[in-house]
Amino acid sequence: METEIRFADGNVVKLAPGVDPVSSEWIWTPQGPGVYDVRIGATNVRAELLQAPDAQGNIRVRLNGVEQSLQVVDGRAVLLERMGMTLVEDAGQDRVEAPMPGKVLSINVAAGDEVAEGDALLVLEAMKMENVIRAPRAGVLADISLIAGQAVEKGALLVAYESES
């Protein structure tokens, strides 16, 4: 499965299946904490990490002196997007909805729990894959009206947050 690097300006760099930019033909030479000179074929790039990736793969870097926001999307997420599904869907400020139809395998949280962005909320089995549904934001959970083993449709309410008022 191919990985995509998506830039804020709409440009997309596709990495061929099996190409790992860290361990492939890309040569990474450390220059300091979070700073690397990267040789990609005949091209040299100075890459500096400004903000580590979040749960959705969003990252901020400086490439050859230009600050950029980009998203690194793995092959599984690319495939699901092509099928009209996503691994994590932020249905709004106060709701997490099922990104696809599936079966709830396990629930890792309970009503009243405080979660951080990216925390694992539950595991949803879909298309014979286990998908960890993560918190799209920090907050206190108000309601979890699911049980393990329950089937859900795409768009079904999985978790509700307490209002931020």
Could you state, in order of their start, the residue ranges of all structural domains in the chain? 3-75, 85-161
Calpha distance 86→133 (Å, rounded): 10
For residue 132, the surrounding DSSP H or E stretch is: strand 129-134
pLDDT more than 90, % of the chain: 25
pLDDT tens, residue by residue, 95-121: 888 888 899 999 999 999 999 988 999
Q: Calculate the alpha carbon distances from 76 to 3, 17, 38, 123 in Å.
A: 8, 11, 26, 16
pLDDT of residue 129: 84
- Reported as a single tens digit per residue, the pLDDT across 8-62 is 778 887 876 666 666 567 788 899 888 989 887 788 889 898 887 777 778 888 9
pTM for this predicted structure: 0.48
Residue type, 119: D
* The listed CATH number (2.40.50.180, 2.40.50.100, 1.10.10.1100, 3.30.413.10) that belongs to domain 85-161: 2.40.50.100
Cβ partners under 8 Å of residue 132, min gap 6 = 120, 122, 123
